[in-house]
């Protein structure tokens, strides 16, 4: 299907730098506030946000069937729930208004002052109410690395790993939007040859992930096929599933992660629509052995999203420590959603499904400190000369991501958070 707003030939009358994440072909959705606005839906274009409530109030969406005040809600859930036909029409209309040929808004200075804000003058909010959150474990390179470290170097993957997308149910209440701070978690750890002890986590780690947002609800008993999955995915964000590795090692048997994961997660504020990501579809890993029929998925499976992780010490310069790519995922979002619902589990608009740590085959593409330093045995040196085995107090971790094809760049902005000392 041809998506009008994706046209690579489109040019905007808004000044857009070549390396911006927010080109006219992107138009990601978010929610902002400032000194006058408590919460309004918006989109990003160049260095600006466009207030969608103001656009609606000024009758720029008259050709789209939208409920009154849909863009003044605290979250985007109700807007997303209108369905892709409507959300796509909104994105197309915004694209029209921003094209250099369209003079409606371009020549109306009074309206521009009501609609546009500079991104530096606003605060981005959590874009959706997340009712439920699931985290998968779908990068074969990550799973292999972890298996080599903790189980068997010759037989790293567990027997089920290539047959189904492994996942666990996470904690939605502690997901925060980019820019937040959190305290180092505390919990039980088990020293070698000694009883368990309680105290602050010593092995704090980031996990480089993406996540997708559910855009269409189902009822209990319904399943979503891989072929229909894209109809239920509104868009994607960057995600950091913060992890306390020492707490995790002691607690995860037999039921999996708990306190090691639920203390904080970070998401980027902009939801890049699945529509905007379609031009960047690529083939993924060959799945061998052949998956069961309900997991089969034809066509281009993955998305070519360049991913970066930087560590910034307090008052210091950020150092890039990882460069990975979403295309290295073994299990796709469509397969994850099909597996999640095959037993009749219902999903709701705003639910979030995270990818799991995304690692590539080479060391510089590993998506966690656990892998990059190989359990702390090979520390990373930062630009200020200091070393890291894991994340220190007052370090800020920044995740960035973008797609690039020809002259078109579609990005996600930043996903960052600062780790404070334990309290």
Is the distance from CB of 235 to CB of 273 less than 8 angstroms? yes
CA-based nearest residue to 352, from 140, 144, 80: 80
Q: Sort 315 into a burial class: Cβ within 10 Å, 0-12 / 13-18 / 19+.
A: exposed
Is 340 within 8 Å of 167 (Cβ atoms)?
yes
Question: Using CA atoms, how far apart are residues 43 and 90, in angstroms rounded to an integer?
Answer: 11
In angstroms, the CA 321 to CA 387 distance is 12
Cβ-contact 201, 187 below 8 angstroms:
yes
Select which of 142, 339, 340, 402 is catalytic: 142
Rounded Cα distance between 128 and 30, Å, is 8
Classify strands 306-312 and 319-325 as parallel, antiparallel or unpaired: antiparallel
Torsion 173-179-183-185 (CA) sign? positive
Is 142 among the catalytic positions?
yes
Catalytically annotated residues: 142
């Amino acid at each position: 299907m041809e998506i009008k707003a994706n046209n690579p030939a489109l040019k905007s009358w808004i000044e857009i730098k070549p390396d911006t994440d927010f080109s006219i072909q992107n138009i990601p959705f978010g929610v902002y506030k400032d000194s006058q606005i408590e919460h309004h839906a918006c989109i990003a274009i160049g260095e600006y946000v466009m207030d969608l409530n103001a656009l609606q109030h000024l009758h720029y969406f008259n050709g789209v069937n939208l409920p009154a005040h849909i863009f003044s809600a605290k979250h985007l859930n109700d807007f997303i729930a209108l369905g892709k036909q409507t959300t796509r029409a909104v994105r197309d209309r915004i694209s029209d208004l921003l094209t250099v040929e369209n003079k409606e808004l371009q020549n109306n200075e009074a309206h521009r002052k009501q609609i546009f804000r500079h991104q530096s003058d606003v605060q981005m909010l959590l874009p959706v109410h997340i009712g439920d959150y699931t985290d998968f474990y779908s990068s074969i390179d990550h799973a292999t690395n972890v298996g080599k470290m903790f189980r068997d170097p010759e037989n790293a993957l567990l027997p089920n790993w290539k047959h189904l997308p492994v996942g666990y149910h996470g904690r939605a209440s502690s997901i925060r939007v980019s820019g937040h701070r959190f305290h180092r978690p505390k919990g039980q750890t088990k020293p070698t040859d000694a009883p368990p002890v309680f105290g602050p986590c010593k092995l704090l780690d980031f996990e480089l992930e993406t996540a997708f947002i559910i855009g269409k609800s189902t009822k209990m008993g319904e399943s979503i096929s891989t072929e229909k999955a894209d109809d239920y995915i509104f868009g994607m964000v960057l995600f950091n599933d913060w992890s306390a590795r020492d707490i995790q090692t002691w607690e995860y048997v037999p039921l999996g992660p708990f306190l090691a994961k639920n203390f904080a997660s970070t998401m980027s504020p902009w939801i890049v629509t699945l529509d905007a990501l379609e031009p960047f579809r690529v083939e993924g890993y060959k799945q061998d052995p052949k998956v069961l029929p309900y997991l089969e998925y034809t066509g281009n499976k993955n998305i070519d999203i360049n991913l970066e992780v930087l560590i910034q010490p307090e008052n210091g310069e950020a150092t890039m420590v990882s460069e990975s790519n979403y295309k290295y995922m073994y299990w796709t979002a469509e397969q994850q959603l099909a597996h999640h619902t095959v037993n009749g589990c219902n999903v709701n608009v705003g639910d979030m499904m995270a990818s799991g740590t995304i690692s590539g085959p080479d060391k510089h593409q590993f998506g966690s400190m656990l892998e990059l330093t190989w359990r702390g045995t090979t520390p990373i040196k930062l630009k200020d000369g200091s070393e890291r085995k894991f994340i220190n107090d007052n370090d800020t971790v920044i995740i960035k991501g973008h797609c690039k094809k020809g002259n078109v760049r579609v990005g996600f902005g930043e996903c960052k958070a600062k780790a404070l000392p334990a309290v």
